[in-house]
């Protein structure tokens, strides 16, 4: 009897110990993840003088200042980079939504010769790496004199085969009877798409929108190739520009204020749409 109890106690102890060790390692990783964020926020509130006087960096500051944020938005054109990124993100996402919705609807609901063939070709395009096509796109956009324009920035990224595929799958789950009934009633395809399909599939559309917004906000390579006039820099390029030509002197705290400002919008977005983002990414998003 007591032996049985002993065994139970032992198991409970082992369980608690296991939980403890697991938590220890999870917290360790959490610190590694959070620390850079802590550091950028901390540094962004240190004054230029106090930062430079710390040979051994301090883990806290007693005299926080917002001067760095003022510098970031006045001494370098961070505000413009922000505005550019917002314009780029809104334009790209909006146009992409129109393009993929129409295409997904055609694949999901319409009947036409060669549908399967076209869809297979679309899917096979998913395997083509961006690095392979970006060279020609660079030359195309340059030849069209579209460098340093929003048109040039936006055009190559307004379609995504993966999102067409995702949306088509979702559209197909809407009962076909609805469609047949609507057609009998004389509703046009377009009206049916707007009034029924899009509202029903809103969750997927929201997920796609958020993932695209994240991608746009963080995009670096294409904007770097296509813009060399800082008037058209997006935030990623802006950060790089600030790093290399920055504040006239190496002003780390102001640089960190810029970094925090660039990071905040997406982190806020993440906290609002956490569930949708994580569900969307686990359905097949990969970074970059």
Rounded CA-CA distance 67/288 in Å is 34
What residues between 153 and 172 interact with other proteins by CB under 8 A? 155-156, 158-159, 161, 164
Interaction of residue 282 with other proteins, rule CB under 8 A: yes
Choice between 126 and 181, CB closer to other proteins = 126
Does residue 103 bind other proteins (CB under 8 A)? yes
Q: Among positive and negative, which fits the CA dihedral 158, 162, 166, 169? A: positive
Tokens standing for 136?
């020609």
| Residue choice 49, 117, 132, 184 for contact with other proteins (CB under 8 A) | 132
- Which region among 74-82, 175-183, 194-202, 216-224 touches other proteins (by CB under 8 A)? 216-224
Residue reference for tokens 């060669």: 114
Phi, psi of 179 (to 5 degrees): -65, -45
Which residues, numbered 235-254, are part of the site for other proteins (CB under 8 A)?
235-236, 239-240, 243-244, 252
Q: Checking phi first, is residue 248 left (phi over 0); if not, alpha (psi -120 to 50) or beta?
A: left
Give how far Cα 13 sits from Cα of 111, 123, 272, Å: 64, 53, 39
Kindly determine how many residues on this chain lie close enough to bind other proteins according to the rule CB under 8 A.
Answer: 91
Residue 205 touching other proteins (CB under 8 A): no
Residue 76 found at the interface with other proteins (CB under 8 A): no
Q: Note whether 101 and 109 are within 8 A (CB).
A: no
Minimum gap (Å) between residue 153 Cβ and other proteins: 13
| Residues 83-102 contacting other proteins, CB under 8 A | 98-100, 102
Place of tokens 């802590």: 38
Chain centroid to CA 101: 20
Judged by CB under 8 A, does residue 276 bind other proteins? Answer: no
- Sites for other proteins among residues 16-35 (CB under 8 A): 18-19, 22-23, 25-26, 29-30, 32-35
Least distance to other proteins from the beta carbon of 130, Å? 8
């Amino acid at each position: 009897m007591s032996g049985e109890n002993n065994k139970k106690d032992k198991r409970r102890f082992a369980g608690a110990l296991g939980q403890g060790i697991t938590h220890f390692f999870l917290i360790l990783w959490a610190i590694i993840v959070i620390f850079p964020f802590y550091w950028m926020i901390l540094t962004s509130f240190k004054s230029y003088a106090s930062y430079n006087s710390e040979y051994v960096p301090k883990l806290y500051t007693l005299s926080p200042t917002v001067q760095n944020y003022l510098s970031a938005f006045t001494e370098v054109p961070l505000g413009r980079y922000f505005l550019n990124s917002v314009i780029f993100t809104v334009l790209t996402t909006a146009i992409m939504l129109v393009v993929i919705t129409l295409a997904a609807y055609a694949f999901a609901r319409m009947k036409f010769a060669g549908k399967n063939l076209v869809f297979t070709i679309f899917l096979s395009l998913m395997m083509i790496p961006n690095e392979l096509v970006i060279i020609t796109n660079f030359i195309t956009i340059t030849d069209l004199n579209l460098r340093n324009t929003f048109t040039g920035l936006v055009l190559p990224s307004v379609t995504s085969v993966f999102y067409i595929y995702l949306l088509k799958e979702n559209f197909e789950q809407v009962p076909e009877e609805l469609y047949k009934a609507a057609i009998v009633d004389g509703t046009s395809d377009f009206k049916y798409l707007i009034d029924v399909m899009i509202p029903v599939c809103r969750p997927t559309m929201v997920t796609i929108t958020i993932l695209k917004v994240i991608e746009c906000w963080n995009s670096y390579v294409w904007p770097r190739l296509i813009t060399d006039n800082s008037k058209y820099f997006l935030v990623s390029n802006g950060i790089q520009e600030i790093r290399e030509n920055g504040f006239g002197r190496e002003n780390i705290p102001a640089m960190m204020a810029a970094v925090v400002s660039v990071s905040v919008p997406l982190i806020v977005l993440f906290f609002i749409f956490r569930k949708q983002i994580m569900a969307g990414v686990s359905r097949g998003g990969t970074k970059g």
